């Protein structure tokens, strides 16, 4: 993703909360064992989003926080973190 | 009495719900497009099964922001009957009308088969014609039906009697073997604290004629019909 001076890039990581079963991660971890990598004792899967926001927008932090908690992550099962670039 | 069935882009159970009401129940029903700003005077609203908005992001996450949902939420908050089957249940949890979340099935497989659910209480708009502890044979068809909530909230649900249906075997035992997706406490369906919103992963609308395997699903529709014709106070949930 390219950004211009007029935009800011933000990466949002969404992870399952600790304790929430991640069957996908468990399956990947089992596959690693079968592939000959028994040292990886746990895998947790997640997702990330690249967002580009108008650099002149007001309240950028508040807006990012809102879209994360209202849409990108479900606070019942997930937590998010934000990385600004 | 008129039912409304919401159609989101990607819904695939909307015609099943429509047919269950119109042909099996012989009652009035109409489709409500997700962009509609009006519930057309419906007495009960069904959010159908399927993959609303492609289930992108999370099942139900985008559908909750469809224009009609504002009106569904308002209707539910004023005591209106709202029912979510399968994907509709996921939309209800995402929209905050029901607590908790539906995770990926614990075995990762998409489940499509008949299962049994046990009716936990009969003093609700959805189970009035059932017997307590009655076992219903209903199909499921989902990949993300693993009901999850914080331990304290699950306890609250149980204490309030909000668990309406539990996965069980044919004789009504809610055993681990009868749990098709890993749901906490074998939870298959819950109601809101006020008792007027139901979300369930199984599909009663696909079990309305014996020729297709079961007509047990009719009991949910008959219960709602009875309730809407002569509302009884919902038991203190």
pLDDT in tens, B38-88: 999 999 999 999 999 999 999 999 999 999 999 999 999 999 999 999 999
Q: Residue B72: which domain range?
A: 2-229
The domains found in chain A, sorted by start residue, are: 7-84 (3.30.1280.10)
For A48, name the nearest residue in chain B, comparing CA atoms only.
Answer: B57
Are B103 and A72 within 8 A, CB to CB?
no
- ipTM (interface pTM): 0.82
Sorting pLDDT into bands at 50, 70 and 90, what band is B26?
Answer: very high
Q: How far lies B87's CA from each of B47, B52, B95, in Å?
A: 8, 7, 12
Cβ–Cβ of A76/B148 closer than 8 Å?
yes
Residue B113 within a domain: yes
Angle, CA of B139, B143 and B144, to the nearest 5°: 105
Q: Each residue of B142-162: pLDDT tens digit?
A: 999 999 999 999 999 999 999
Residues of chain A contacting B103 with CB distance shorter than 8 Å: 20-21, 77
Q: Which residues contact B227 (CB under 8 A, 6 or more apart)?
A: B81, B125, B126, B128
Evaluate whether residue B235 is within a structural domain: no
Task: Find out whether B141 and B160 touch, Cβ atoms under 8 Å.
Answer: no
CATH number at residue B73: 3.40.50.880
Enclosing H/E stretch for A23? helix A23-34
Rounded CA gap, B178 and B186, in Å? 8
* B190 domain residue, yes or no: yes
B150, part of any domain: yes
**In total, how many domains does chain B have?**
1
């Amino acid at each position: 993703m390219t950004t211009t001076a007029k935009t800011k890039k933000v990466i949002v990581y969404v992870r399952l909360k600790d304790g929430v079963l991640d069957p996908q991660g468990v399956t990947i971890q089992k596959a690693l064992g079968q592939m000959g990598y028994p040292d990886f004792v746990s895998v947790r899967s997640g997702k990330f989003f690249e967002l580009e926001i108008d650099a002149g927008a007001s309240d950028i932090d508040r807006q990012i926080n809102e879209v994360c908690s209202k849409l990108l992550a479900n606070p019942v099962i997930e937590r998010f973190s934000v990385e600004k670039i | 009495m008129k039912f409304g069935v919401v159609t989101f882009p990607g819904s695939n159970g909307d015609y099943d719900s429509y047919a269950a009401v119109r042909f099996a129940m012989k009652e009035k029903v109409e489709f409500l497009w997700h962009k509609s700003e009006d519930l057309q005077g419906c007495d009960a609203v069904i959010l159908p099964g399927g993959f609303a908005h492609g289930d992108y992001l999370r099942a139900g996450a985008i559908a909750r922001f469809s224009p009609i949902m504002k009106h569904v939420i308002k209707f539910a908050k004023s005591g209106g009957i709202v029912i979510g089957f399968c994907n509709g249940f996921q939309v209800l949890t995402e929209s905050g009308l029901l607590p908790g979340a539906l995770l990926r099935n614990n075995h990762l497989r998409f489940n499509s088969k008949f299962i049994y659910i046990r009716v936990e209480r009969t003093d609700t708009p959805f189970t009035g014609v059932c017997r307590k502890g009655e076992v219903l044979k209903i199909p499921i068809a989902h990949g993300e039906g693993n009901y999850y909530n914080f331990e304290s909230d699950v306890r609250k649900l149980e204490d309030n009697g909000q668990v309406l249906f539990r996965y069980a075997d044919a004789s009504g035992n809610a055993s681990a073997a009868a749990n098709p997706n890993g749901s906490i406490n074998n939870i298959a369906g819950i109601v809101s604290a006020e008792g007027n919103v139901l979300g369930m992963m199984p599909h009663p609308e696909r079990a309305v004629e014996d020729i297709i395997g079961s007509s047990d699903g009719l009991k949910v529709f008959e219960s709602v019909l009875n309730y809407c014709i002569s509302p009884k106070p919902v038991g203190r949930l």
